[in-house]
A = this chain, B = another copy of it.
Amino acid sequence: MKYSSKTLEQAVEAMSALPSIGKKSALRLVLHLAENTTDKRRRLASAIMALETDLKTCEMCHNYSDSNVCDICRDKSRSARTVCVVESVKDVMAIEATQQYGGVYHVLGGVISPLDGISPDDLNIASLIVRLKEIDVNELIMAISPTIEGETTIYYLSKLIENLDVKITTIARGVSFGGELEYADELTLGRSIHGRVEYSHNVD
């Protein structure tokens, strides 16, 4: 594509550097920004720069925050003795959206993946250990995706803290609500049978 302006071309280049935004979509977005009111452009540009200047990472759980310690970690009504270990900030949001969890989080920032060159040192593991030693944590919930890398990470963490008095749990795996048995993969279905629970009328 030949652009009639260098300014336009640079904006398209910068926009298409974002994930899953191709050249054509980038051009559409840039033309939209070029045509629109000054306001929309400025708000976007300054919001992007604010990610650099204002966005902090919580010292405790490594979740994104506006202050040094995030709202969840500061919330006295939540139990600091239950820590849910997740891969990313997105997982915190997903779990918070369920409104089913009253503990705190610890964001690893990824999973151990030798193929992608991600070793335990690249993750927020040291700070988790410090946290477990400082605070009397009861339970560590591993809410990590059930992939090979995820399972490896759970195994690594469990070995690392096996001599600390912390109960380790993983989120339940099974057939999704509304999912049909015949379409569930064998591993999920197998585990779902293996991890069967007693039936109760009072389901919450």
Measured CB to CB, the residues of A under 8 A from B are 1-8, 10-11, 13-15, 17-21, 25, 27-34, 38, 40-52, 54-56, 58, 63-66, 70-72, 88-90, 92-93, 96-97
Contacts and interface: CB of A to CB of B under 8 A. Distances in A.
Given A49-B42, A52-B41, A92 B11 contact: no
B50 A10 contact: yes
A55 B7 contact: yes
Given A44-B48, A49-B41, A55 B93 contact: no
B66 A14 contact: no
Contacts of A10: 43, 47, 50
A175 to B, nearest CB: 24
B93 A3 contact: yes
Given A17-B40, A38-B52, A52-B41, A90 B27 contact: yes
For the complex, would chain A's binding face be called helix, strand, loop or mixed by DSSP majority?
helix
B93 A2 contact: yes
Number of copies of chain A assembled together: 2
- Name which of A47, A63, A93, A97 has the most chain B CB atoms within 10 A of its CB: A47
Contact of A14 (B29, B47, B54): B47
Contacts of A28: 19-20
A65 B5 contact: yes
A25 B15 CA distance: 14
Contact of A4 (B13, B29, B89): B89
B1 A97 contact: yes
Contacts of A21: 29
A119 B186 CA distance: 62
Given A31-B89, A32-B18, A90-B31, A48 B45 contact: yes
Contacts of A13: 47
Given A45-B48, A48-B48, A51-B30, A4 B92 contact: yes
